């Protein structure tokens, strides 16, 4: 297909597609002449991936390029592959490093091989930021959340990942994380509404939360 057809199939403008090509987010098409190249379904998939990372994941172009590089050179180990996902989807660098107390609390969770991982560092930073804002997450609450997220993770880290080719498994994990993080956040909100209705009054009587 020509670039105009690629644009029609993906809903992405031709200037944006050319920008993706210049930025190495989209692999080059098959050259047919000095001014013409053709594209295939792999280009459609790549454009959709980039749009997902930008529109849903809110990743910068530089971060998307890191994801693309990781997809093209995935680690063989499935555990290292998950680390590559977390590295690619890491939040923007925090202005302040996590406190020693927060880092110690994360290590105290007993995460063994994960104690110094990107995800553990992100957790320590989040605990530090919460404390700095005047909201200290106590140990009991942290343990409850950890157990709940362990249940989620047992679904996320599907056994089928071990049977996929490394590149396919990495793409599955990245896209799955980007697209389902908002679902998990929304489920927390829905659960809060349900518990609030049970504890403080029926939504039928009082209406939904304002």
- CA 87 – CA 73 distance, rounded (Å): 14
pLDDT at site 204? 58
- CA 132 – CA 143 distance, rounded (Å): 20
What is the mean predicted confidence (pLDDT) over 25-51?
90
Query: C-alpha angle with apex 24: 22 to 29, nearest 5 degrees?
Result: 80
- CA 159 – CA 50 distance, rounded (Å): 26
- CA 181 – CA 73 distance, rounded (Å): 25
pLDDT at site 20? 94
Prediction pTM value: 0.77
- Name which of 25-29, 90-94, 129-133, 145-149 the model is least confident about: 90-94
Domain chopping of the chain, boundaries: 1-56, 91-138
State whether the Cα torsion 53-57-61-66 is positive or negative: negative
Helices (H), 75-157: 78-88, 100-107, 118-132, 139-156
**What's the CATH class of domain 1-56?**
mainly alpha
């Amino acid at each position: 297909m020509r670039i105009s057809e690629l644009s029609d199939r993906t809903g992405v403008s031709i200037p944006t597609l050319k920008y993706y090509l210049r930025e190495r987010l989209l692999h080059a098409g098959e050259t047919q002449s000095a001014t013409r190249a053709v594209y295939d379904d792999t280009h459609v998939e790549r454009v959709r991936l980039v749009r997902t990372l930008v529109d849903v994941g809110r990743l910068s172009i530089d971060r998307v390029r890191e994801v693309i590089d990781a997809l093209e050179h995935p680690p063989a180990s499935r555990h290292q592959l998950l680390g590559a996902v977390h590295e690619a989807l890491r939040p923007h660098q925090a202005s302040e490093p996590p406190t020693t107390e927060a880092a110690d609390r994360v290590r105290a969770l007993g995460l063994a091989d994960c104690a110094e991982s990107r995800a553990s560092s992100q957790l320590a930073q989040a605990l530090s930021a919460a404390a700095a804002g005047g909201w200290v997450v106590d140990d009991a609450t942290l343990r409850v959340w950890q157990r709940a997220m362990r249940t989620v993770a047992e679904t996320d880290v599907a056994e089928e990942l071990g049977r996929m080719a490394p590149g396919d498994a990495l793409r599955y994990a990245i896209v799955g994380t980007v697209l389902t993080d908002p679902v998990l956040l929304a489920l927390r909100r829905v659960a809060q509404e349900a518990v609030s209705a049970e504890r403080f009054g029926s939504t039928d009587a009082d209406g939904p939360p304002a």
